[in-house]
């Protein structure tokens, strides 16, 4: 089944033959369409923005989409330090229903009932300000219980800093921060790719048009959740 949400509140659910199961609104009156769904295609977690006066506050919501009547399960509001941010990573969901996201300088986990499991800091306030840090995306090794968060400077900001942080999915403990030494150049970073439990590959373009610059890749050893 497919569950596209556009840049509005409408949800459409259909299968490959075109049979429609849901054509309804989530009725939140917000903006945004980034979501993750469980393997049974019944529980959806969505990031959106709620307009409060002249600002758009980040909100995370979960819905039961097993029937035509979309039912809101819970709303979650992030800590005030990131609520006004313009960035937040796509949600990642493990087999227990826990959702993981990052918005600098924080990474957080929300359980299946919409409760905060933990919140951890990826960078200091001075680093976040000096390098204009942004949460790009994340990758998850569910077997090792580690989520990798890619963070870096916003486009064209100088000085620049890029790093990947390995965080324990159950405790929020920062296991290791991997600083990426890729030079003082503008890049278009892409999400880390995990190969089994062994390797992590980070790749990027130095320009927006890949035809003008070859792809660049570095390989890194994944970390172990047993590291103290």
How far apart are the C-alpha atoms of 71 and 59, rounded to whole Å? 16
Q: Which of 10, 93, 96, 110 is nearest to 44 (CA)?
A: 93
pLDDT of residue 5: 46
Better pLDDT: 226 or 22: 226
Better pLDDT: 29 or 59: 59
Predicted TM-score of the model (pTM): 0.83
How far apart are the C-alpha atoms of 95 and 148, rounded to whole Å? 17
Q: How far is CA 4 from the centre of its chain?
A: 18
Query: What is 87-228's CATH topology?
Result: Methylamine Dehydrogenase; Chain H (2.130.10)
pLDDT of residue 221: 93
How far apart are the C-alpha atoms of 41 and 65, rounded to whole Å? 7
pLDDT of residue 105: 95
């Amino acid at each position: 089944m497919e569950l596209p949400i556009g840049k509005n509140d409408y949800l459409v659910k259909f299968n490959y033959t075109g049979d429609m199961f849901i054509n309804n609104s989530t009725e939140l009156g917000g903006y945004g369409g980034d979501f993750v769904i469980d393997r049974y295609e019944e529980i959806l977690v969505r990031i959106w923005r709620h307009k409060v006066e002249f600002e758009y506050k980040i909100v995370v919501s979960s819905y039961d989409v097993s029937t035509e009547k979309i039912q809101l399960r819970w709303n979650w509001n992030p800590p005030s330090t990131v609520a006004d941010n313009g960035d937040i990573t796509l949600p990642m969901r493990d087999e227990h229903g826990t959702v993981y996201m990052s918005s600098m300088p924080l990474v957080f986990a929300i359980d299946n009932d919409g409760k905060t499991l933990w919140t951890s800091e990826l960078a200091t306030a001075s680093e976040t300000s000096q390098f204009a840090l942004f949460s790009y995306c994340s990758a998850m090794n569910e077997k090792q219980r580690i989520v990798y968060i890619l963070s870096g400077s916003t486009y064209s900001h100088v000085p620049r800093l890029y790093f990947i942080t390995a965080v324990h999915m159950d405790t929020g403990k920062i296991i290791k921060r991997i600083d990426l030494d890729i030079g003082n150049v503008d890049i278009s970073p892409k999400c880390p790719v995990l190969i089994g439990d062994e390797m992590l590959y980070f790749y990027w373009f130095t320009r927006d048009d890949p035809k003008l610059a070859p792809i660049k890749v570095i390989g890194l050893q994944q970390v172990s959740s047993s590291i103290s």
